[in-house]
Structure 1
C-alpha cells in the first residue's frame, strides 16, 4: 500500500492530477479546492489512500493526516463512496466534524451527491468516531517532547484522551520535560 507520495505536479485537470515521483506519474484524486491551489512543477507531499475495486485502483491524496483519517472514516459509512467522501473532506475537517457533532444535516445536504438519508447516516455512524480525527494533532503526529510526555502518561495507565487534554493545558512556565510531566500528572489528578 502507498501511504504518502512526494513529487512534483506534472499535469492537472479537474481530477485527478498527475504527480511525478521519481519519473513515475501517479494519478492522484484530490479534494477539488486543493487542485486549484496547485502549480504545475511545484513539489508537494500527499497522504494517500489506495482504493481498490475489481475493475480499478485509485489513489486519493490529502495535504494533512486529519483529512485522510476523515476520508477513511467516511468510507466506512454504507452508501458513501470515495468520490462523495472526497467532496465532504473538501468542506474542511473542522467544519465537517463540527457538523457531525452538532447533527447538522443541512451542512451535508449542500454537498453534491449527498441526500438527507446519507447525511443522517454519516452523522449517526460517525458521531462517536469523530474524536479520533480531533485528537490527531497530538496522538498520531506528535513529535519530540510532546510525544515523550504522551508516552509517559500512557505508560502510567492514563487514557489517551485524558492525557492529550492534560498536555494541551500545559503552560510555558513548565520549562523542562520532567516539570511538564509532573504538571500533567497534577492536572490528571
Structure 2
C-alpha cells in the first residue's frame, strides 16, 4: 500500500490531482480546500482505497487529517468521497462537531443525511483521542497560541488537551474564552 507521496504536483485544477514521483504520475483525490494551497513540491499522506474494480488514492497534507479520514471510513454508510467531503470542512471543526453532538454540521454536507450524521457522532466520539493528541502535540498554528495562553495561566497539558477537544469558536480569543469556561475560570 502507498502511505506517502513526495513529489511534483501537476494538474491541480481538477480532482484528482496528479503527483509525479520518480517519473510515475499518481492520481490523488485531495480535499478541495487543500487543492488551492498545494505547492509545486509536496508531501502527501496517502490512504489507498482498494475495491473490486479500482485502486484509488486519497491525499492529505497533515497526518491527523488522514487519521480522521480513515476513522470516518469505519462508520458504515460512509464511503471515501463522503469522508473526503467531511474532511474538506476542516478536521478541527469535524472533531468539534462530534464532541458537541452537532448533527446539523454533518447534514450540510452533500450525500450525508441525518441518520449517517448521528452514526458518525455516536461511533467516533470515543475514538478521537489519538487524533486530537497528535494535533495538539504537533502544536499546529491554530492550537499553539491557545495552548501557550492556557499554559501561562498555570493549566497542565492534560487539562488543556481536554479543554481543546470541547471548544468551538472561530477566533483564538473565542477559543481561549471557551477553554477557560470549560476549565472553570470565567
TM-score range, shorter chain: 0.7 to 0.9
Q: Which runs of 5+ in 1 are unaligned?
A: 143-162, 169-189
The structural deviation recorded for 1:13 is: 3.7
Structure 2 length-normalised TM: 0.72
Partner of 1:35: 35
Give the conservation status (yes or no) of the 8 Å contact 1:5–1:47.
Answer: yes
- 1:103 lines up with 2:96 in the alignment: no
- Deviation of 1:166 after TM superposition, in Å, equals 8.3
Going from structure 1 to structure 2, the CA distance change for 1:84 and 1:43 (only over 3 Å counts) comes to same
2:128 corresponds to 1:130: yes
* Structure 2: distance between partners of 1:49 and 1:86: 11
Unaligned runs of 5+ in 2: 140-155, 162-186
| Contact persistence 1:30–1:86 (CA under 8 A) | yes
- 1:22 Cα deviation (Å)? 1.0
Show the 5 A alignment for 1:58-73: 58-73=56-71
Contact map agreement 1:31 1:87 (CA 8 A) in 2:
yes
Moved over 3 A (4+): none
CA spacing shift, 1:104–1:26, aligned 2, 3 Å: same
Q: Secondary structure at the match of 2:7?
A: strand
Of the two, which has the highest radius of gyration?
Answer: 1
Change (3 A) 1:38 1:130: same
Tell me by how many angstroms 1:130 deviates. Answer: 1.1
Structure 1 residue 131: deviation in Å? 1.3
C-alpha spacing 1:18/1:108, structure 2 compared with 1 (3 Å): same
Cα-Cα RMSD: 2.1
Answer yes or no: is 1:165 the counterpart of 2:158: yes
1:128 is paired with a residue whose SS is helix
